[in-house]
Structure 1
Amino acid sequence: MDVSLFWIPATLAAAAAQTGRNATQRRLTETIGTVGATQIRFLYGFPFALLALAAMSLVTGEAAPAPNPAFLLYALAGAVAQILATALMLAAMRERAFSVVTAYTKTEPVQVALFGFLLLGDPLTPAMAVAIAVATAGVVLMSAKPGTGLASSGLKPVVFGLASGAFFALAAIGFRGAILALEQGSPLIRASTTLVWSLGIQTAILLLWLGLLDRKALMASFAAWRPSLGAGFLGALASQFWFIGFALTTAANVRTLALVEVLMAQAVSHRFLAQATSRRELAGMMLILGGVALLLLAQG
């Protein structure tokens, strides 16, 4: 088996785990607030990432590679960019409907492809560019529901939403850059090492931030440790597979295939919330699937 193609099942597994984590975090938001619920993905995910790295080292017989300046710079940039992206996304959602904000933030694959090409020299073929554009158009079509038109959303959510997508893109590029900067180890051990460092940085930053500015949310996140463990586990599991994907292929490939998460979320809504699927949403799904299929064909 060609190990390089393992990024495909890894990305699908990551999208599934992230769908579960999002559902868990959404419930926690009602009890510990948005900031507290956001912080648990890092605080409670970090121990699971450490366990995963230890297990990976035990199974493969490889030690975690030593960090170098380039690795630390990329990991720090990715960690900070992801926190900023989340903050901007939440700010945009306060200004506008969730569906409209999703349309802007899910322009991320396009921005990932551009940043990856410019900053890391990742290849971007015409076939890949078409696939990314088609899949992203599908998400925009699904997200722009009647009555929440993108053109009428106002300037602030547009800026916040696109900036959020840009920082999510930079986070993906930062994490992939960190993985590539490690000089030793297999792709799996380098991915696990990068995840531990990134989550550690994010946990430290947010603990300091909440300790200084929002101790109530911090204490609430500690008090809700039982459900938070589940969210932390799913978050770490998703991140583990994201990073494996980043270790094996370009961030643009991973984040484009990751758009199937939108289809998974739609399936969850249809199954458990009894929400009907409109023709527009079906058309968007077909575009997403078409774009993903084109992307996979471009790998041949």
Structure 2
Amino acid sequence: MITSPIWLPATLMAGATQAWRTAVQRRVGKTLSINAAGLVRYLYGIPFALILLGGYQLLFPAPFPVLGRLFLPFCLAGGLAQIIATNLLIMAFGHRNFVVGTAYSKTEAVQGAILSFLLMGERLSTLTCAGIGCGVAGVMLLSTGGKRMGPMDFLRALGQPAAITGIASGFFFALTAIGIRRATQEVGGGDPIHAALIVLSVTVLLQTLLQGGYLALREPGEMRKVFTSWRVSGQVGFLSAMGSACWFTGFATAPVALVRIVGQIEVAFTMAFGHFYLGERMARSEAMGLMLVACGVVLALLGAL
């Protein structure tokens, strides 16, 4: 159920911001371990998340809403799923290039549609389902990395580490979306943006404790690198907080699957960053895949009208 039209601009902005953040985080990941590279987005995102919440509270004064008894469990579940998804995505980058690693993780759209139906009873129109299929076909074409592949080659490619980690990343990102949506539903007051910012602030605090505690115990040397890389890591934290605020707003105001389908537009931004920021070339098949993704987004939007 769509409760506010804010979900669409929020989702589009989330896609652009996340693509930028992922590109910067990949550069950070070259000097940090997987867990350390994941931690920077939460640790350095805390001050920006709190600033966003405080700023919104000042602009729109209102009593702090009542939090339901399942608020913290859902924040924790969503935050933990996001940590796992992010680590898997960073691992996928190590197997193939930046665009391909992200493309595999974008199967979260169809996984999110299935999970949100099974766990939350959310239903989609036939046109939106067609958009899912079109978008998934596009990201699968993008996943070939510009190589010509027959059906059997494609099936074999699905067993490669990049595919396994990327698809697993998409699964946990889908779980993240469901956990966050349920957490926002536990916030009273009727303001979805305020609810999204509250969930964001609490979630990044929990994520910092979880992944920071693990890193301090298991990789103390990497913890020092996290603090010495503050110049670039601060950019990751800022972009992560901004992107998550937009994603969480989308989840608070529209069905998870619809937000994730439209969020596939991130692939277009990712390809642009991969080409211009990281110097990766775009093949003809990748351009065709991008067109399919765009068509999927358009169909999803038409189905939501």
Query: Could you say which residue in structure 2 is the equivalent of 1:151?
Result: 155
Contact 1:92 1:156 survives alignment (8 Å):
no
Q: In the alignment, which of 243, 246, 249 is matched to residue 241 of structure 1?
A: 246
Per-residue CA distance 1:42-67 (angstroms, 9 max, x = gap)? 00001111111111111111244233
Is 1:59 the counterpart of 2:63? The answer is no
In structure 2, relative to structure 1, the CA distance for the partners of 1:276 and 1:231 (3 Å cut) is: closer
1:29 aligns to 2:34 (yes or no): no
Measure the CA separation in 1 of the matches of 2:104 and 2:27: 24
TM-score (norm 2): 0.90
2:175 corresponds to which of 167, 170, 173: 170
The answer (yes or no) to whether the contact 2:197–2:245 under 8 Å persists in 1 is yes
Instruction: Give the drift of 1:40.
Output: 0.4
How big is the shift at 1:275? Answer: 4.9
| Matches of 1:223 and 1:273, distance apart in 2 | 23
Q: Secondary structure at the match of 1:138?
A: helix
Matched, 1:139 2:147: no
1:295 deviation in Å?
0.8
- Contact persistence 1:135–1:289 (CA under 8 A): yes
Q: 1:285 to 1:52 in 2, by over 3 A?
A: same
CA separation in 1, counterparts of 2:32 and 2:103? Answer: 27
Alignment match, 1:298: 303
Percent pairwise identity: 38
| CA drift at 1:101 | 4.5
Give the distance between the partners of 1:28 and 1:272, measured in 2 at CA.
14
With over 3 angstroms needed to count, the CA separation of the structure-2 counterparts of 1:213 and 1:63, relative to structure 1, is farther
For 1:242, the aligned partner's letter is W
Residue 52 of structure 1: SS of its match in structure 2?
helix
1:192 & 1:8 partners in 2: Cα distance? 17
After superposition, residues 1-300 of structure 1 pair within 5 angstroms as: 4-94=4-94, 96-98=95-97, 101-145=101-145, 146=147, 149-153=153-157, 155=159, 157=161, 158-272=163-277, 275-300=280-305
Cα distance, 1:160–1:285 mapped onto 2, change above 3 Å: closer
Cα pair 2:158 2:164 within 8 Å, conserved: no
User: Deviations for 1:202-239, whole angstroms, at most 9, x for unmatched residues?
Assistant: 11101110010001111100111122111111110000
SS in structure 2 of the partner of residue 151 of structure 1: helix
8 Å CA contact 2:104–2:166 kept in 1: the answer is yes
Deviation of 1:190 after TM superposition, in Å, equals 0.5
Deviation at 1:276, TM superposition (A): 4.6
Paired with 2:142 and 2:22, the residues of 1 have a C-alpha distance of 19
Rounded to whole Å, the distance in 1 between the matches of 2:286 and 2:58 is 46
Letter in 2 for 1:230: Q
SS of residue paired to 2:157: coil
Match for 2:157: what amino acid? Answer: S
Query: Which segment is superposed worse, 135-144 or 97-106?
Result: 97-106
Amino acid at match of 1:56: Y
Query: 1:5 is paired with a residue of what secondary structure?
Result: coil
- Paired residue secondary structure (2:155): coil
Superposition deviation, residue 147 in structure 1: 6.8
Q: Is the 8 A contact 1:64 1:193 kept in 2?
A: no
CA contact (8 A) 1:263 1:285 kept: yes
Asked whether the 8 Å contact 1:71–1:178 carries over to 2, the reply is: yes
In structure 2, the CA distance between the partners of 1:281 and 1:104, relative to structure 1 (3 Å rule), is closer
Tell me the distance in 1 between the aligned counterparts of 2:154 and 2:88.
Answer: 17
- Mapped partners of 1:271, 1:23: distance in 2: 11
The structure-2 alpha-carbon separation of the partners of 1:5 and 1:72, relative to structure 1 and needing over 3 Å to count, comes to same
Matched residues in 2 for 1:154 and 1:238: separation?
29
| Contact 2:105/2:170, CA 8 A, preserved across alignment | yes
- Residue pair 2:125, 2:304 contacting (<8 A) in 1 also: no
